[in-house]
């Protein structure tokens, strides 16, 4: 059974009008594996709201960090969007989920593919030494609609500089041209070889792929990868593609 602790918002950082990072201080530190999520909850009179959110911070960091997109007609995310420093928020315990690197089999390359807020679990993973110790090449791919949705770029570029030749970052922007970014949808960019070309690497049997975010992207990318000989990774039948759906 999940327990709840009361945290305090220390910052609500706006990347743009819709995308924000909610930073929360909790009364006691808790352990989690990079890639896991918690539920955030708000009580309004008799009404209680709660939803799942991935932890973006590394397990070693004391302030919890959540990257959230305001869904305009959504029930919960607009309420999170309105929170300000000093306000209370409920955080479920313990953190849960299997979208973690210890569920990913061995391989030469690790492809961390996300849409929108789905980059969150990868940021937590990349703040630990685990991916760098396990994989020769790591590709972080972030697909968004507009360039100003490319959150955490400064942090990512610091990691790229700290792991030259090992970590690469490839933004993908679908609705406008942006310097250094590919344009289009992930499944199409895999299918026509543009993603592999941009990263100078091959999606073959030695690749491990993680997919996180929009379920349409995950469904279509899974199909394109299966057609290339990269099956879904299941506990009972290890494969190459590990997924986390956000809705
Ligand atoms: C394991 C897990 C981890 C998650 N982690 C995150 C996270 O780190 N950040 C985050 O923003 N959301 C995350 N979500 C989604 C989150 O739980 C909520 O569904 C989301 O915030 C919308 O809630 P809502 O009440 O505002 O919308 P609802 O009234 O519940 O409406 C849901 C609809 O909103 C849309 N939607 C849901 N999530 C998103 C999103 N992230 N971006 C764009 N559209 C969306 C979909 O169309 C969905 O059908 C996660 C979900 C799961 C299952």
pLDDT at 29: 84
The reply to whether 123 and 71 lie within a common domain is no
Q: Which of 93, 124, 140 is the last residue of a domain?
A: 93
246 lines ligand 1 (CB under 6 A): yes
Length of the chain in terms of residues written: 247
Same domain, 14 and 133: no
Shared domain check, 157 and 197? yes
**84 in the same domain as 49:** yes
CATH number at residue 86: 2.40.30.10
Cα dihedral 62, 34, 172, 178 in deg (nearest 10): 20
Residue 5 has pLDDT above 90, yes or no: yes
Instruction: Kindly report the CATH number assigned to the domain that includes residue 148.
Output: 3.40.50.80
Please tell me whether residues 68 and 107 are part of one structural domain.
no
Q: What's the token pair of residue 161?
A: 């500089």
Q: C-alpha 203: how far from its chain's center?
A: 20
Same domain, yes or no: 175 and 136: yes
What share of the chain has pLDDT > 70, as a percent?
Answer: 100
How many domains does one find in the chain? 2
Same domain? For 29 and 56 the reply is yes
Q: Residue 1: its pLDDT value, please? A: 72
20 CB within 6 A, ligand 1: no
What residue spans of the chain are helical by DSSP H?
77-82, 120-126, 130-134, 153-162, 186-191, 194-199, 215-227
What separation in Å is there between the alpha carbon of 31 and the centre of ligand 1?
23
Residues 147 and 73 in one domain: no
Residue minimizing CA distance to atom 49 of ligand 1: 247
Residue 244 CA, closest ligand 1 atom number: 1
Residues 235 and 117 in one domain: yes
Look up the domain containing 78 and give its range: 3-93
pLDDT score recorded for residue 30: 86
Beta bridge pairs of residue 210: 112, 242
Tell whether ligand 1 has an atom less than 6 A from the beta carbon of residue 122. no
Helix/strand/coil for 21: strand
| DSSP-assigned letters across all residues of 93-105 | ES-B-S-SGGGSP
Assessment of whether the complete model's pTM goes beyond 0.85: yes
In terms of C-beta distances under 8 Å and separation of at least 24 residues, what long-range contacts does 24-30 make, across chains too? 24/63, 24/64, 24/65, 24/66, 24/89, 24/91, 25/62, 25/63, 25/64, 26/64, 26/91, 29/62, 30/5, 30/93, 30/94, 30/95
Same domain flag for 115 and 214: yes
Best mutation site among 48, 121, 244, 247 for ligand 1, i.e. most ligand atoms within 8 A of its Cβ? 247
Report the atom number in ligand 1 closest to the C-alpha of 68.
11
> Do the Cβ atoms of 108 and 208 come closer than 8 Å?
no
Whose tokens are 């396990």? That residue is 134
What is the per-residue pLDDT across 105-153, written as a single tens digit (0 to 9) for each?
Answer: 999 999 999 999 999 999 999 999 999 999 999 999 999 999 999 999 9
- Residue where a domain stops, chosen among 93, 127, 154: 93
Q: Are residues 137 and 193 in the same domain?
A: yes
**157 and 198 both lie in a single domain:** yes
- Which of 70, 93, 116 represents a domain boundary (last residue)? 93
Ligand 1 pocket residue status of 77, Cβ below 6 Å: yes
Q: Is the pLDDT at 2 greater than 90, yes or no?
A: no
């Amino acid at each position: 059974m999940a327990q709840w602790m009361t945290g305090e918002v220390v910052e609500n950082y706006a990347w743009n009008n819709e995308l924000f990072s909610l930073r929360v201080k909790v009364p006691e530190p808790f352990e989690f594996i990079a890639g896991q999520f918690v539920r955030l909850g708000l009580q309004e009179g008799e009404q209680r709201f709660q939803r799942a959110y991935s932890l973006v911070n590394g397990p070693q960091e004391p302030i919890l960090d959540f990257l959230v997109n305001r869904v305009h007609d959504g029930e919960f995310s607009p309420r999170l969007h309105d929170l300000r420093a000093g306000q209370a928020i409920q955080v479920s315990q313990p953190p849960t989920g299997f979208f973690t690197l210890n569920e990913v089999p061995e391989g030469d390359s690790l492809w961390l593919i996300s849409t929108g807020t789905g980059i969150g679990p990868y940021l937590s993973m990349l703040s630990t030494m685990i991916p760098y110790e396990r994989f020769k090449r790591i590709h972080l791919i972030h697909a968004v609609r507009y360039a100003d949705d490319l959150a955490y770029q400064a942090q990512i570029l610091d990691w790229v500089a700290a792991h030259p030749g090992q970590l690469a970052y490839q933004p993908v922007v679908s609705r406008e041209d942006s310097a250094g970014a590919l344009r289009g949808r992930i499944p199409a960019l895999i299918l026509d070889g543009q993603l592999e070309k941009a990263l100078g690497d091959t999606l073959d049997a030695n690749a491990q792929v993680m997919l996180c975010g929009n379920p349409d992207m995950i469904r279509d990318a899974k199909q394109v990868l299966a057609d290339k000989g990269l099956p879904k990774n299941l506990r009972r039948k290890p494969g190459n593609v590990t997924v986390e759906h956000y809705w």
